[in-house]
Structure formats: C-alpha cells, structure tokens
Amino acid sequence: MNAHDTITANRPPAALSLEGTALFLDLDGTLAPIASRPQDVKPTPRVTRLIDRLHTGLEGRLAVLSGRTLADVDRILERRVTAVASVHGLIRRTSDGEILDRTPHPELPSVEQACREFAQQDSGLIVEDKGHSIALHYRLAPAFAESAVGLAQELAERTGLSLQPGHMVVELRTPGPSKGDSLRQFMAAPPFEGAVPVFVGDDLTDEPAFRAAAALGGYGVLVGPPRPTAARWRMADVNAVLAWLEAAR
C-alpha cells in the first residue's frame, strides 16, 4: 500500500517493537476516552506510567500529535512528553523544548463571537477557544449537528479559515501545518531521524499523519469502528490501544 491508498482497516497490528520505532500518538480517543466536555479529560496513573516507560524504551522517540492546546496536552499527560504538535500541528514543541508557533488568523475573534451566539441556543453547545482555532462542540446537543456544520462552512468561506471536522465537533483553524506535516518535521531531526514511524489515532484529523507515516516506511493504526482510512491496522478502543502499548518491548 502506498501513502495515498485508502482501505478499510479491520485487523489489529502485530506486537509493537520499541527498537527502531518512532511512536506518534493522538490523545483524545487514543490515549484517553473522548469526554462530553474537553475539560473532563484528566490525567490517569495508568497512562502516566505507560508514557514514562515508552519514553525510556524508545529513547525519546515519542511524540503526541493532538488537536488540543499545548497546555491541555501537558495537563492531561502531566508534562511527560516534550515533543508535541498541538492544535492539529499549528504549534510544535521540539524534543529539546523549542516552541515553533505561528500568528493566529485575524478573523478568529469574529468567528468566536459567531459561534458563541450560535451556542446560546442550547447549553450542550460548547465553544472552545484554542488561541489559533475555535472549536464548536455539539456532542451534548446532537440535534444541532447539521446547523453547526453549516455555520462552520459559512464562516470558513467568509474568513479563509480552514475547516476541520472531527468527532461531534467542527473547528475553524488558522491555515497551516497538519498532523502529517508535524510528523514529517519530527522525523527529519533527532531523536526520530532514521526510525520507522508509527502513528495511532482515531479521527479524520489523523488521516494526514497516517499517510505521512506510510510514506516514510511506517504505518498508521486507526482506533475505533472500521472506515475508509490510510491507516493499515485498526484497534477497537482506548483500552485496546493501552494494552497494545503496555505489551510493547
């Protein structure tokens, strides 16, 4: 399979070998169950212990690629991972701690206002300001899914912001790097350089990273129900991912 092929992944991967692997992990839906509200995801001893062991076993070749802000990733993982691409790749912290940022799009304040006005219709509609993007969550108000997506499409067309659909959320983000771009950037420098990239994620936002991993000789692992994807393998849920990672040697 080349990097642009799409399949329906439906088989779990073989046991993970830490030797020579560069491991890239999504957070929500991969290391932690998706919560109704973003702030409800908390650190857990199991994940913290696992991350510590993986970081040691991989000799630092561990990165998190998440839609969350950098502060949120650090909160949930108790700052155990230095190499992080946050807000879907718009902000990247390198393995030596350097933060590579970009200027937020000037239309974000007006988009936030429009989303907050829309969210006044139902208490289950949640607007999240990530600094470089605005996310409109409708998991607690699924009846508003169609109108939320319609609003996001209209705002993207009017402002030039990038539309980023996800699991029961639409996000308008500053145009810029994706998770796939971030994976390639990490792989071009130590300690990742020369290793085989493996990326584990659950959402449509993870597809660019699945393709990037495959293009560099590695593979992607989809978490959740079967669907067309650039990932080669699939695991059912977060517990399956944690068990697979805990068995890695």
Q: Mind telling me the catalytic residues? A: 26
Instruction: Return the structure tokens found at 84.
Output: 């992080």
Q: What is the DSSP string of 142-207?
A: GGGHHHHHHHHHHHHHHH-PEEEEETTEEEEE-S---HHHHHHHHHTSTTTTTSEEEEEE-SGGGH
**For 108-111, which contacts have Cβ atoms below 8 Å and span 24 or more sequence positions?**
108/132, 108/133, 108/134, 108/161, 108/172, 108/174, 110/159, 111/155, 111/159, 111/161, 111/172
Through-space distance between the first and last CA atoms of the chain, rounded to whole angstroms:
26
Half-sphere exposure of 205 toward its Cβ, with a 13 Å CA cutoff? 32
